[in-house]
Each structure stands twice: as C-alpha cells, then as structure tokens.
Amino acid sequence: LVQNLTEKLIKKLDDFVLKSGLKRSDVRNKILEVIVKKARHFTIADLIPVLQKRYPDVGRATLYRTLPIFVSSGILQEGPQDPLGQTYYELAEGEHHDHIVCLDCREIFEFHDDQIEKRQLAVASSMRFSVENHGHVVYARCQDLSR
C-alpha cells in the first residue's frame, strides 16, 4: 500500500520533472519514500534525522532544494504553522482539510467543514478577491492527559 503510494507519487514527480526540464533523480525518490512512510505532518527538522538514518548519504541541503519541488509538483502542501513558527509539510493526497494544533499534547488533528469553506469563499469574493489557497489553524487543548 505504502509502496503503491510511493510509486504513484514518483510517477507524479516524474511528470512534473519532465515538464519542467529537470531531471529524474534517485535521491528525490528516496526522500519521497521516507516522507510517505513518515506520512502525515512533518517539519524539516522532523524529517532530517529520519532521512539520515535511512539514507545517511543524503545531505541536508538537498532536502531544502527538494521540498519546494515536491510542493510545486503537487505532492506536498504546506500544512499549519505551529506556535513556534515551524512550517509543516504534508502529503497533498486526499481532500482538503484544516488543522487543530493541540497545545497540550502538541499533536495535529485535521478537520473539514463545508460551511467554513463556503463562507470563506463568499467573504473573499465579496471583497473582490479570487481565492488561491488558505490556512486555517485552530489552537486548542485536548485536556485529555492520557491522549
């Protein structure tokens, strides 16, 4: 399953790479593989040790050069900004969702609400904006210490 997803995304990456006059690379595929396994939400800081453990030869700089390519090719999207200011990335698979960042347990949860999405569009349109994207992060507490 994960294997399938990785391969599917590598294909997506290849499409973008060819279209953009770039070249395929094993290192990018390796990075993608690690991301798919770690999946969900991660920061660059999260990813570095995992990547270096699996593929010690991959340099940090490459990560900084690669992630923007993944975003451009639609594989990743930028997720919420945590209260400390680090940018999260996440796989762009699946439908759009917003985030709840738990201030107690530091985990990130997802939510989706059609009404919010619709109102957001309506409000921006009424101000004569065309919406490209949005980030909606709710900071909250789970208050469940066992979680």
DSSP state of 86: P
18 near its own copies, rule: CB under 8 A: no
87 near its own copies, rule: CB under 8 A: yes
Residues paired with residue 98 on neighbouring β-strands, in sequence order = 111
User: What span, in angstroms and rounded, lies between the C-alpha atoms of 34 and 28?
Assistant: 10
Closer to DNA by CB, 54 or 121: give it: 54
Segment interacting with DNA, rule: CB under 7 A, options 3-11, 14-22, 75-83, 127-135: 14-22
Using CB under 8 A, pick the residue from 53, 95, 144, 146 that binds its own copies.
144
Is 103 within 8 Å of 80 (Cβ atoms)? no
Closer to its own copies by CB, 20 or 87: give it: 87
8 near DNA, rule: CB under 7 A: no
Sign of CA dihedral 2, 5, 14, 74: negative
Is 66 within 8 Å of 59 (Cβ atoms)? no
Sign of CA dihedral 31, 53, 42, 110: positive
CB atoms within 10 A of CB 17: 17
| # binding residues, DNA (CB under 7 A) | 22
| # binding residues, its own copies (CB under 8 A) | 33
60 touches, from DNA, its own copies, none (C-beta below 5 to 8 Å by class): DNA
Is 51 within 8 Å of 31 (Cβ atoms)? yes
Residues 108-147 contacting DNA, CB under 7 A: none
134 near its own copies, rule: CB under 8 A: yes
Q: Which residues bind DNA (CB under 7 A)?
A: 17, 21-28, 44-45, 57-62, 64-66, 86-87
